[in-house]
Amino acid sequence: MRDVRIRLAVVILLSLAAFTGGTGTLLSAACWILFCAKETFVRVSWKLFVPVTVLAAGFPGLILSLTGGEGGMYAAKIFVILAFAFWFGAVQKPGEFLDLGVWALGRKTGFDLGLAAELSLQFLAGITDDLTHMKQALRIKGQKLSVATLPPLAAGLLLLSLTRANHVGAHLARRGYRTGGTYVPAFARSGTDLVILCTAGICAAAGFLAAIPA
């Protein structure tokens, strides 16, 4: 899926469908498996996806079950929503949030929010790269990641991030940036974008209808 606007609409529709009840959750999960799973695991490892989704969905679900609630259903809903979040992040491309922000909110507020989102993603990618390099340095030294090595690693990541943010801020200031900007968003669609959007709309409608008491 290439159009970020349609991708966001699909995520919103199917996330809402998942929270309507069992039918909506099942339909949303089926859509994710059919349309999104392959794209997700091209860039996201099972080793990251499984523990994050299981812990984030299973732990509150377990607590809810122990307190007498429907923990299993709640965990299933959260799992599906997290799966779509992983998919959205996996297929995101540089510049898409800026395109989306300017398209939705204009060249002032939209530009500022889009730019902030793009810079945040760049910083997260930089932190990931820095952490990878630090782990490699530990292996070269014959050390392992442990409680003892976490404080200096965290301090190093913080300093590198602050330095990177300072450089970016200085660069924007030199270029005269204050607020807003002239930017023309561009979107491209694949042949399956509208198919997935229509399917998501049908699933969301079916989920809402199934949730209506007879």
Which DSSP string do the residues of 72-133 spell out, in sequence order?
HHHHHHHHHHHHHHHHHHHH--TTHHHHHHHHHHIIIIIHHHHHHHHHHHHHHHHHHHHHHH
143 domain-assigned? yes
pTM of the model: 0.79
List per-residue pLDDT tens for the chain, 214 residues long. Answer: 789 999 999 999 999 999 888 999 999 999 999 999 999 998 888 888 998 999 999 999 999 898 888 889 999 999 999 999 999 988 888 889 999 999 999 888 988 888 888 888 888 878 888 888 888 888 888 887 777 778 888 888 888 888 888 888 788 777 777 777 788 888 888 888 899 999 999 999 999 998 888 6
* Token couple for 190: 């694949």
**Dist. CA 171–CA 77, nearest whole Å:** 43
137 domain-assigned? yes
167 domain-assigned? yes
Find the domain containing 196 and state its range. Answer: 4-92+187-211
35 domain-assigned? yes
Q: Please give the tally of structural domains in the chain.
A: 2
181 domain-assigned? no
Looking at the fold, whether 88 and 8 belong to one and the same domain comes out as yes
